[in-house]
């Protein structure tokens, strides 16, 4: 958080940010400007009213692709250092007779698509908006 102390930071109301983030805002270590939507925060970012807007990589790209023209979205870059990290999980019933087998099949398939480079292509396509409706 100390890396962010000299910046005006946009946040979207109703979103979950870390406790550390809000504690730093409450203690005036961070300057937070809350908006109603991600679109508003990107507009503030483009107009210079805020310096930083924490957004998920996929959701941020999606808003930029849907809500702004390419010239505007080309003015925004992403920092590779995450504000926070989350994980996704594949869930199976503990008592399911097929759960262990399904997990093995899934892991084998995932390893194959990663080895062939398909996983990275899917990720690139996702960020490019190929799967957006």
List the domains of the chain with CATH numbers. Answer: 2-73 (3.40.190.10), 87-133 (no CATH)
Q: Which residues contact 84 (CB under 8 A, 6 or more apart)?
A: 17, 18, 21
pLDDT tens for residues 89-118?
Answer: 999 998 999 999 999 999 999 999 999 999
DSSP structure string for the chain: -GGGTTSEEEEETT----HHHHHHHHTTSSEEEEESSHHHHHHHHHHTS-SB----HHHHHHHHHHHS-HHHHTT----SS-S----------TT-TTHHHHHHHHHHHHHHHHHTTHHHHHHHHHHTTTT--
Distance CA 20, CA 15 (A): 14
pTM to 2 decimal places: 0.76
pLDDT tens for residues 8-59?
Answer: 999 999 888 889 999 999 999 999 999 999 999 999 999 999 999 999 888 8
First to last CA, the chain: 36
Q: Which band of pLDDT confidence, cut at 50, 70 and 90, is reported for residue 82?
A: confident
Dihedrals phi, psi of 33, to nearest 5 degrees: -120, 110
Residue 128 pLDDT > 70:
yes
Return the pLDDT at 133: 63
């Amino acid at each position: 958080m100390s890396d962010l102390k000299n910046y005006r930071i946009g946040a979207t109301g109703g979103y979950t940010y870390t406790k550390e983030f809000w504690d730093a805002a409450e203690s005036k270590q961070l300057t937070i400007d809350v908006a109603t939507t991600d679109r508003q925060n990107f507009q503030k970012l483009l107009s210079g009213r805020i310096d930083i807007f924490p957004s998920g990589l996929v959701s941020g790209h999606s808003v930029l692709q849907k809500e702004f023209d390419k010239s505007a979205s080309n003015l925004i870059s992403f920092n590779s250092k995450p504000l926070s990290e989350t994980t996704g999980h594949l869930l199976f019933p503990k008592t399911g007779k097929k759960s262990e087998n399904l997990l093995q099949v899934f892991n084998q398939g995932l390893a194959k698509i990663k080895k062939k480079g398909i996983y990275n292509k899917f990720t690139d396509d996702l960020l490019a908006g190929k799967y957006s409706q």
